[in-house]
Structure 1
């Protein structure tokens, strides 16, 4: 991204807005994530990464997502294209938070498994929309898609090892 494209699209405001949005999603998702006794009691596959790895992985993913959003925003031709981008990123943020709520707060990994499909599809949509504006922006989102795909398989394994779940 060049300084010219940043100036043309509002200077540092989009960068700060994207960083703030990524931080908000991380905080809200983190607040919904309780790895206390209920989570610890779940059977998990042997190949699950250690709990400490999830924080750095999500930090990297949120940073890449914010950067992708800024790059795509800076290259959007008009307000309508920027609005579509913002809507897609907002939808993805809501689905990201919702997954944590369903899995950890509501304690329904089975519901989270259904929801993770929508989350994954929303990332694919971000890749398409952002990649149309900036090829690098599209590629910056690929680790997010891969991570959520992996998380979906992990979620499926947790459901399979622990079902049935009941009650909200």
Structure 2
């Protein structure tokens, strides 16, 4: 790949394997960290009043697996199209915040057993998704489009989480 004058010459980010490898490692760590807290078979979770439109437990893994793949792809792709160290640092920072919020939801919801704290987290995750996508849409439309299903699923998850909070408030029984 020929780099033009004024472009960043850091080959870690122009070569595909390091950038896709770093993105995949970050996303895999997020998935593993979040999965450690998930307990869909716990008595606490089973006792929650859930909306009729909640997907079955198996659907979450079926949805998250390809979503994590698209996040890794989008991040790796965007790292290759980001042309300055400053933009790259901002992109990496935005992605790090996003992935941290992503993994934190499981810990807040399942480990702390706090649907309300998890709802706050997922609202912040939605803002983070909007921030990352809006930054990417100006520089890498492919990466921005790849993140659209993730943002849509997170919006659905926020609505589901809000329904769980509402249905399981003390006195709503």
TM-score by length of 2: 0.88
Which residue does 1:53 correspond to in 2?
A: 59
Which residue does 2:24 correspond to in 1?
A: 19
Q: CA separation of 1:4/1:40 partners in 2, compared to 1, >3 Å: closer, same or farther?
A: farther
Q: Is residue 2:147 matched to residue 1:141?
A: yes
Give me the whole-angstrom Cα distance separating, in 1, the residues matched to 2:154 and 2:162: 12
State the shift of 1:103 in Å. 0.7
Within the candidate set 97, 107, 110, 1:104 is matched to: 110
Q: Is residue 2:72 matched to residue 1:79?
A: no
Which residue does 1:34 correspond to in 2?
A: 39
Gaps of 5+ in 1: none
Partners of 1:72 and 1:131 within 8 A in 2 = no
Which residue does 1:119 correspond to in 2?
A: 125
Give me the whole-angstrom Cα distance separating, in 1, the residues matched to 2:102 and 2:2: 32
Partners of 1:69 and 1:130 within 8 A in 2 = no
- How many residues align? The count is 163
Give me the whole-angstrom Cα distance separating, in 1, the residues matched to 2:164 and 2:119: 10
Partners of 1:68 and 1:130 within 8 A in 2 = no
Give me the whole-angstrom Cα distance separating, in 1, the residues matched to 2:13 and 2:95: 21
Gaps of 5+ in 2: 4-10
> Over alpha carbons, which structure has the higher Rg?
2
Partners of 2:109 and 2:117 within 8 A in 1 = yes
Which residue does 1:151 correspond to in 2?
A: 157
TM-score by length of 1: 0.90
Partners of 2:12 and 2:19 within 8 A in 1 = no
Give me the whole-angstrom Cα distance separating, in 1, the residues matched to 2:170 and 2:102: 24
